[in-house]
Amino acid sequence: MKKTIITLFSALALTVAACSTNPFTGKKNLNLVSNSQIFPSAFAQYDEFLKENKVITGTKDASMVTSVGQKIRNAAEKYLASIGHTEYLNGYEWEYKLVQNPEVNAWCMPGGKIVVYSGILPVTKDEAGLATVMGHEVAHALLNHGAQRMTNDMLAQLGAQGVAVASSGTSQTTQQILQQAYGLGTQFGAILPFSRAHESEADAVGLTLMAIAGYNPDNALSFWQRMQANSGGSAPPEFMSTHPSGTTRINNITKEIPNAKAKAAKLGVKY
């Protein structure tokens, strides 16, 4: 018991020391995993994925993925330079690949390794639609969401250990009830909302990036409306999902567009 309490206090001290401010949001984030720890593993996994899947090269679509990705990256660099944080991208190794896959999806690994599935292109339709997706995925990388989710999982595991210690003197039935309640509480009260918060952050920062890159962020609304229509109403209830509902996302994006345009305008970008 004493050893566990010492461990919990040590972990608490570590969390305080691991807080840093993200230049894109101005928020303090808790990261128990550094870029130097997570990037090499992410890069290796990305390379392995590319070996095991069909990467599309030499086509108009593949060129568009690379071109839009580079424009979004340049926008990030431009924004960071404007606020005096060019060092923030140290260690990032940007890469953008179009992969043959019918899924309507795109994702990024920590450190800027991005994959766009060919199945999403009929929904993006054009360069502005693709910029919406690429801006969103690049934003995930810039916001260090991978490290934050790993940190959240680590803290959830630590909390579960605390529940086990606190209930150790009760009956086995009581212990099971407490453990189950903790599991449901962290799943629906922390982990999923935490992921939805990440999606909303990536939407907002992605809008700013696409705006600075020269794409009118108004186009993001059309893309997400097409995504909502494409889902066919099969999405789970919002409180059980890692992503905001289509309606919530569109409403949030509508509110964020003026802010994205204002930030782009400060850097001389007009539509």
93 catalytic? Reply is: no
Distance CA 76, CA 142 (A): 8
DSSP secondary structure of 123-159: HH-SHHHHHHHHHHHHHHHHTTHHHHHHHHHHHHHHH
Q: What is the rounded CA–CA span in Å between residue 74 and residue 131?
A: 13
Q: At what angle do helices 127-142 and 218-231 cross, to 10 degrees?
A: 90
Give the active site residue among 95, 137, 201, 256: 137
Beta bridge partners of 55: 99
| Residue 21 backbone phi and psi in degrees, to 5 | -100, 130
| 8 Å CB contact between 119 and 102 | yes
In whole angstroms, give the CA distance from residue 169 to residue 106. 48
Catalytic residue numbers? 137
